[in-house]
Amino acid sequence: MLESFLQYLKHVRHFSEHTLAAYTRDLGMYQQYLEEAGLRSRDISPGEARGFVGWLSRRGLSSRSINRALSALRGFFRFARSHGGESPPPANPFQGIRSLKTPATLPSFLLVEEVERLVAPPAVSFWELRDRLILEFLYATGCRVSELAGMNLTDLDISARSIRVRGKGGKERLAFFGGPAAAVLKEYLLARRALAFTRGPQGGKALLINRRGGRITVRGIQGIVEKALRASGLAKPASPHTFRHSFATHLLARGRDIRLVQELLGHANLSSTQVYTHLDIERLAEEYRLAHPHARRER
Annotated catalytic sites, by residue? 144, 168, 241, 244, 267, 276
Handedness of CA 144, 207, 161, 154 (dihedral sign): negative
User: CB-hemisphere CA count at 13 Å for 28?
Assistant: 6
Per-residue 3-state assignment (H helix, E strand, C coil) for the chain: CHHHHHHHHHHCCCCCHHHHHHHHHHHHHHHHHHHHHCCCHHHCCHHHHHHHHHHHHHCCCCHHHHHHHHHHHHHHHHHHHHHCCCCCCCCCCCCCCCCCCCCCCCCCCCCHHHHHHHHCCCCCCHHHHHHHHHHHHHHHHCCCHHHHHCCEHHHEECCCCEEEEECHHHCEEEEECCHHHHHHHHHHHHHHHCCCCCCCCCCCCECCECCCCCECCHHHHHHHHHHHHHHHCCCCCCCHHHHHHHHHHHHHHCCCCHHHHHHHHCCCCHHHHHHHHHHHHHHHHHHHHHHCCCCCCCC
Tell me if 208 sits within 8 A of 215, measured CB to CB. Answer: yes
